[in-house]
Amino acid sequence: MRIFSVYRGLQKPLVFKGFKGKFIFWGVGWLLCGLVLGALCMVLVNMYFGVLVLATAIGGGLWYTAETQKKGLHSKRRSNGLYLHQSTFNFRKNVKKERF
């Protein structure tokens, strides 16, 4: 039986221009959103307002993404404590009694 070594990578997230993992897609989304909103404002209002909306949407979106990324790749809440859930199902009512 032949044994081959498997390259598993460095177990690090994908990084592009400072954005990691899922935040790369968030950044691309903000870029596309800014371009669409800017183009709509250029057509409907005027060119200067469109450029302002374009710059604000892209800059603000990328800033928000960079700030969110600082919290980590996973934004799961970790609650401390013991939580008890009271069941509303009545077990005794639904048990069939067998008679002999």
The mean of the pLDDT values for the chain is 80
pTM of the model: 0.60
Give the model confidence (pLDDT) of 3-46 as tens digits. Answer: 766 555 666 667 778 887 788 889 999 999 999 999 999 999 99
Question: Residue 23 is encoded by which pair of tokens?
Answer: 């935040």
Cβ contact 92:77 at 8 Å:
no
- Percent share of the chain, pLDDT over 70: 72
In 3D, which of 17, 100, 23 has the Cα closest to residue 68?
Answer: 23
Number of structural domains found in the chain: 1
Q: What is the reported pLDDT for 14?
A: 75
93 domain-assigned: no
- Residue 38 belongs to domain spanning: 15-69
Q: What is the reported pLDDT for 96?
A: 63
